[in-house]
Amino acid sequence: MNKPRRLCMVLAGIFAAVAAVSYAAPRSARPADSPAARKLLAATFATYRHVHSYREDGVTVYEQRMPGLQMRMDSHYTFAYRAPNLLYYERGPGMASSKMVCDGKSFYFIASMFAGTMGQVAKAPAPTDVAKLLNPKLFAQAPVMAGAPAFGASGLLSGEMSMSNVDSVQLGLPHGNRWLASLTRPPGSRVITIYVKGNPLPLVIWIDSTTHAVRQVASDFSQSGLREYMRQAQGGAGETPPGVLDMFKGMTMRTVVTVRKVAINKPLPDALFTFTPPKGAKIVEVKSVDEIAGGQPGAPSAPGDEAGPEAPSDQITLAGNPPIDFTAVDLDGKPVAISSFKGKPVVLDFCATWCPPCRAELPVLDEAFGKFSGQGLQVVAVFVDEDVAAVKKFLADNKYHFTVLWLDPASDEGKRVDKEYGITGIPRTLYVAGDWTVRSDNTGFSGKDETVKALAGLGFKSDF
């Protein structure tokens, strides 16, 4: 499974876990408001309300750490807007690259992060409403940076973000955060910490002291932050949903968006807002920009949104069909064919050590195996890590009792399985009956109830 797909599902799992809890964060949990900071922020909102042309060039740095995985992505971006409805936005390179152009008549969108959108250009009628044109959902710099897109140019220019969205604001950095303190302060800027309504995790924003333009936004998301998130989700009481914190064990996600250049109300050339589709690209007509913002064509919808367009074109469901045979190896290097389990009810799970939803699902599958193995149930976890050593280390720390196999994703067999199964994300879990028919084919993990329901389809109907 390639890296863009893997990251997509990891972040989707993170979103699903957090979005599963609706809450209103209590005011008492917020630090005291600072009148000086609120005045500075109000000046920033006023600056963006009086813009008729705008351009900024910057860079986003996203870092993620968890046991067995360290990752960093740097992407550069350009954002340009001219009233009433001209837009140019491009971010890249890499898996999070995207491009949007509105020439006043049509709106064009290209994204390469999601497998189902590669080689496609979404085309919609040009919106006349600036709020639709500059919807912050289209410009998310990093999915885990909750609230940050609204503090980018799109949210400020569209009016999506205003003082009414701010719960509290203070001068300076959050106390005791060494990483935030280590960031380079843009010259001539002042730093404030903002708590947005409905989000207990702070955003740190550096504002130019003269122009009042936003010069940098940062967010630090860790397991401790999630614990506070969940505590406030339940008004300071109650239990965290089972398995949610386990998905974030040892995890840190940090994002910083730095504006390198900014030009406010300066002339912008017409050519900047002209779109030329890439050679060989397929144009996909959509009804409106809302359809792209609510669920990018061929991409999963954001949590809480209405269902978007249909699933990626390479998504395959095997429900009602036999599982496609392939051969992986056990941890001693011995080849094992999946067809060797034929005749038994099997849970076939594609997973990886670096995947938080997988790490949440595996203990549930192990519990199910312990409950039903005496009745013939087999559980086969197929790890798709690039290095089998990472799998061995993970299993040394986590004692599971089911069958464990490794499939090298770079091998010919790994590539064949990726293509023929149409794996767009993990965990990918197939529940196969004794007649060798797939009864359920699930991507992602939403909790134990999902597993109980799928096992019932195999005849294992008692809870565990």
Per-residue pLDDT, 64? 73
Which listed residue (8, 102, 351, 358) is catalytic?
Answer: 358
3-state secondary structure of 297: coil
> Which pTM value belongs to this model?
0.60
The HSE-up count of residue 387 (CA atoms within 13 Å, CB side) is: 7
Per-residue pLDDT, 350? 95
Per-residue pLDDT, 98? 81
Contact by Cβ (8 Å): 98, 91: yes
Contact by Cβ (8 Å): 311, 129: no
| Dihedral in degrees, nearest 10, Cα atoms 229, 234, 238, 243 | -50
Per-residue pLDDT, 36? 95
Structure confidence by residue, pLDDT tens digits, 63-72: 777 655 566 7
Contact by Cβ (8 Å): 27, 167: yes
Domains of the chain (ranges; CATH) run 3-294 (2.50.20.10), 327-456 (3.40.30.10)
∠ CA(307), CA(309), CA(312), 5° rounding?
115
Cα(275)–Cα(297) distance, rounded to whole angstroms? 19
Per-residue pLDDT, 151? 63
Closest by CA to 445, choosing from 377, 350, 346, is: 350
Cα distances (angstroms) measured from residue 15 to each of 10, 244, 300, 433: 9, 11, 12, 31
Per-residue pLDDT, 249? 64
Q: Which two tokens stand for residue 37?
A: 């900071």
> In the annotation, is 358 catalytic?
yes
Cα(203)–Cα(219) distance, rounded to whole angstroms? 5
Which residues in the chain come in under a pLDDT of 70? 1-31, 66-71, 93-96, 111-119, 140-151, 198, 200, 222-250, 294-316
Per-residue pLDDT, 191? 97
Per-residue pLDDT, 146? 37
Residue with tokens 């976890």: 381
The conformation of residue 355, written as its DSSP 8-state character, comes to -
